Structure 1
Amino acid sequence: MKITAAQYAQAQDLLDFIDASPSPWHAVQTCANRLQAAGFCRLEEVDRWALESGGKYYVVRGGSSIIAFAVGSQPLADSGLRLIGAHTDSPGLRLKPKPAEDAAGMVRLGVEVYGGPILATFADRDLSLAGRVNVRSGSGHVSRLVRFDTPLLRLPNLAIHMNREVNESGLKFNKQTELPLLLGVSADGSKAEARFRAPIAAALGVAPDDLLTWELNAYDTQKGSLWGVDREFIANSQLDNLASCHAALSALLATPAPAATCLCAFFDHEEVGSESAAGAGGSFVQDVLARLAGQARLDAEDQRRMLARSFFISADMAHAWHPNFPAAYEPCHRVTVNAGPVIKSNANQRYSTDSNSAARFMAICAKAGVPCQQYAHRTDLGCGSTIGPIVAARLGIASVDVGAPMWAMHSIRESAGVLDHHYMIAALSGAFAE
């Protein structure tokens, strides 16, 4: 398999992007840093906007969702918008508001299961904490990001001598009693709460009592890697769906002067249904589009024309065919790694693709010189969904669901293909240039 130095560089940049983004709040900060470096101006929802033709902007909601856009040279009502959506969150374990407890001299942290992770993959990993903390300040409170690069936590397995059926019955955890993460040994009679607060307060340079609230998740400290005989595969956490965020952002940054206005929308809370102010089920993208239309002085008629000429690509990862589990896949829809982006279809509208939008994406790929594949889920298995149907329904625009093929979706360590990430960037760049 021939992979160029430039394609390896794209894959490594993806790994660096993910490694810098161990929580949705860090992912948005990583995006913002790259956008600012490329000349994008930050907007605030509480301010009045003054957009310029050819201007590049971004806006953040809730700290964990971000929309970036480049104003095109053509009138909005005549060209419509080119939108790509993805999500910043991944399944995993989130700390409870009061997580620390003493268990016979050991401090452990209570967690809630966020979304649908493969829980067994969290066992025996070098875990740490990342997210945001609200800290007391003179004006009330301020939100601060925090991450620990070194392992703080662990979910040790029970020895096989005490769980003799584990290899036959599978590794299972009771979510309430067996998932709490071990933090350390109770020291010098200190309470578990103090043991938990101390490292966070030290990292932020504040007093432990000044920590008010937090949204923290456990993450795997092992960095991403390339693997395979020819280093043709990627391994990392959160490929679902930071790989799509990185591909879309890379495509936007590679489109400096678009004809049509181009927009990337990366939402939080997809893994838990999207129904939040910062999620795709909220008003974030509609509010931004309304302000774009207002800045362009579009009346109600022209706003409808704008939406009718728009196209939305919902970019989320896809299920690659696994040679060890061939029975899990629909015949004739076995998509393979490093064979190109996947168009995802479902008759029950779990994906937003229809025959027209699929053909349009095929044409985009063909023009970009990118192969593409088609996927449908086995009929006797429940099919997951994406932000695609949600955004398409709220905006009333043509939409397609696509994604790069991957293995072990929702594992703490997922895998995908180097070439597929290159193909996805090229296809999304073609969509912005359409």
Structure 2
Amino acid sequence: MKNQAFNHSLLSFLRNSPTPFHAVESMKATLLDNGFTELKEKDHWVIEEGGNYFVTRNASSVIAFTAPELNFHTTGWRMVGGHTDSPCLKLKPNAHVVRSGYHQLGVEVYGGVLLHTWLDRDLSLAGRITVKLDSGDRVSRLIDFKDPIAVVPNLAIHLNRSVNEGFSVNPQEEMLPILGLAKSEFELQSVLMTQIEKQYPGLNVKEILDFELSLYDTQAPALVGLNKEFICSARLDNLLSCFVGLEALLAGLDSKQPALLICTDHEEVGSLSTSGANGPFLEDVLQRLSPNPEHFVQAINRSMLISADNAHGLHPNYSSKHDKLHAPMINSGAVIKVNNNQRYATNSETAGIYRDLAKQEGYEVQTFVVRSDMACGSTVGPIIAGGIGVPTIDIGLPTFGMHSIRELAGSEDAYGLAKVLTRFMDTPVLMSNEEK
């Protein structure tokens, strides 16, 4: 029953988080409901012993932490990291296109999108809009059309007879969503203004200054399979890890060990941004918590990061794509991700710690190593480890269809990972020889 309630909350989170902005907004609401205090980077911080806090950057990245005591240089932090962004189609600045009698949207591919999965889907639009008010103030607000307003139709097989022999999609010419017939009136600014007025009555918007908007699939997340073994949803990579990390943080609020959750934007495009893992966000926060330079280094040395990002499960239709000895199964536990070329930050000590914690909770652990003749992806793990020097492990939940518009994971794995991460966040000593 606990697993069912957990998955119900997970599906709700996924449904309400069509963009990184909405994901962070959802996480903020949960943190506030659980007694966390929001900090602003521009303000002076007063961190009190026993307090719980969070801070956001760019409204698309969030760091939440507990401070049961303030001697971080003697306790370190138990950190869990994920990312809020997912591959998608984003609107170009001059997005309105008219072609062959249809209104369309010009889009830019964000991240490593499986483009063909976006064809023939009911698409909506969401994101952030910056406006100027009648008062002269400039503010930003989130919008979400929710209803399907666009579609990228496939080309009929009759006009592309060889499509099943090999298929590629040109993102500039063939991925423009159709909004409607050009015989009807359409002006994007007017449509966006109407949506703002609908969501924020009384805001008194004078003009739209700019926007960051993404298309998304309106099909709701679901439990699928004869026995509901699977979770099928958009953006499992990596909102699944963000949700699990948040649940673990909340479950350990009575712990005496300081814990921290970091969920950053722009991982899918390299993380190099003000709000990405390859930017200064985490280090800025940690240095404010431990401003003495020597204490900061001591705190990092006594810390550990679990970088949680989805792993490639063994697909029964493509089993040759895996190293047979490192082929994770869905609903058989979280996966330790190993790459000796440092695409993952796992080492023997951090892996040993995770294996022991999982065993204490009664959960199995799997291992993923990419085939030696294939390129390996990466995560925020090596970026954060290389940036601040924190011992790190890369883990993930087995997934099918990574970077598809709709991905598949196990309905048992997420709850199990949350239990292990909760234990991790409550563990004061990770290595008995840490003073070696």
The interval holding the TM-score normalised by the smaller chain is over 0.9
3-state SS of 1:150 partner: coil
Q: Is residue 281 of structure 1 aligned with residue 278 of structure 2?
A: yes
Corresponding residue number in structure 1 for 2:293 = 300
Q: Distance in 1 between matches of 2:50 and 2:63?
A: 16
TM-score, L = length of structure 2: 0.94
Gaps of 5+ in 2: 428-436
| Aligned pairs (5 A) from 1:103-122 | 103-122=99-118
Rounded Cα–Cα distance in structure 2 between residues aligned with 1:362 and 1:239: 24
Larger deviation, residues 67-76 vs 373-382 = 67-76
Deviations 1:59-101 (A, max 9, x none): 0100100000011337211111111100000001000011001
| 3-state DSSP of counterpart to 1:391 | helix
2:363 paired with 1:370: yes
Please state whether the residue corresponding to 1:286 is helix, strand or coil.
Answer: helix
Matched, 1:51 2:51: no
- Residue range with higher mean Cα deviation, 326-335 or 252-261: 252-261
Paired letter, 2:159: M
Partner of 2:84 in structure 1? 88
Shift of 1:191: 5.2
Residue 200 (str. 1) matches residue 195 (str. 2)? yes
1:227 aligned to which of 221, 224, 228: 224
Shift of 1:195: 6.4
1:432 aligned onto 2:428: no
Q: Tell me the residue number matched to 2:93.
A: 97
Structure 2 SS opposite 1:362: helix
2:231 and 2:409 in contact (8 A); partners too:
yes
Q: Are 2:248 and 1:255 aligned?
A: no
Q: What is the SS of the residue equivalent to 2:139?
A: strand
Distance 1:192 1:230, change over 3 A: same
Structure 2 counterpart of 1:40: 36
Deviation, 1:197, is 3.9
Higher deviation after alignment, 251-260 or 143-152: 251-260
Q: What's 2:412 paired with? A: 419
Q: Is the aligned partner of 1:290 residue 2:287?
A: yes
2:308 paired with 1:315 = yes
Deviation of residue 418 (structure 1)? 1.0
The unaligned stretches of length 5 or more in structure 1 are: none
Instruction: Give 1:207 deviation, angstroms.
Output: 8.1
**2:434 — aligned with what?**
none
Q: Aligned equivalents of 1:352 and 1:22: distance in 2?
A: 29
Q: Which amino acid aligns with 2:69?
A: S
Distance in 1 between the 2:169 and 2:34 partners? Answer: 45
Displacement, 1:384? Answer: 0.5
**Residue 347, structure 1, aligned to residue 343, structure 2:** no
Q: Is the 8 A contact 1:100 1:196 kept in 2?
A: no
The one-letter amino acid paired with 1:216 is L
Q: Give the corresponding residue for 1:400.
A: 393
Q: Is the contact made by 1:94 and 1:114 (CA closer than 8 Å) also made in structure 2?
A: yes
The one-letter code sitting in structure 2 at the alignment partner of 1:240 is: D
Displacement of 1:136 after TM fit? Answer: 1.1
Question: Does the CA-based 8 Å contact 2:132-2:205 persist in structure 1?
Answer: no
- Alpha-carbon distance in 1 for matches of 2:198, 2:56: 25
1:324 aligns with 2:321: no
How far off its partner does 1:385 sit?
A: 0.3
* 1:19 and 2:41 are equivalent in the alignment: no
Aligned residue type for 1:326: S
For residues 275 and 414 of structure 1, what CA distance do their matches in structure 2 show? Answer: 25
> Offset of 1:328 from its aligned partner?
0.4
Offset, 1:192: 4.6
> SS at 1:210's partner residue?
strand
Match for residue 163 of structure 2?
166
1:104-146 CA-partner distances (Å, limit 9, x unpaired): 3211000000000101000001100010111112244210000
Letter in 2 for 1:391: I
CA contact (8 A) 1:66 1:265 kept: yes
Q: Are the equivalent residues in 2 in contact too, given 1:101–1:192 (CA < 8 A)?
A: no
Paired position in structure 2 for 1:10: 6
Alpha-carbon distance between aligned partners in 2 of 1:193 and 1:43, rounded to the nearest angstrom: 36
SS class of match (1:211): strand
Bigger mean CA offset, 253-262 vs 17-26? 253-262
The percent of aligned pairs where both chains have the same amino acid is 42
Q: 1:138-177 maps to which residues of 2 (within 5 A)?
A: 138-170=135-167, 172-177=168-173
Distance in 1 between residues matched to 2:340 and 2:88, nearest whole Å: 29
- Name the CA distance, whole Å, in 2 between partners of 1:201 and 1:208: 8
The one of 54, 57, 62 equivalent to 2:58 is 62
- Name the structure 1 match of 2:213: 216
Distance 1:208-1:102 versus aligned 2 partners, 3 A rule: farther
> Secondary structure of the residue that 1:323 maps to in structure 2?
coil
In 2: Cα distance, 1:360 partner to 1:278 partner? 29
Name the CA distance, whole Å, in 1 between partners of 2:204 and 2:294. Answer: 56
State the TM-score, normalizing by the size of structure 1: 0.95
Aligned counterpart in structure 2 of residue 267 of structure 1, from 264, 269, 281: 264
User: How many residue pairs end up in the alignment?
Assistant: 424
Change (3 A) 1:428 1:156: same
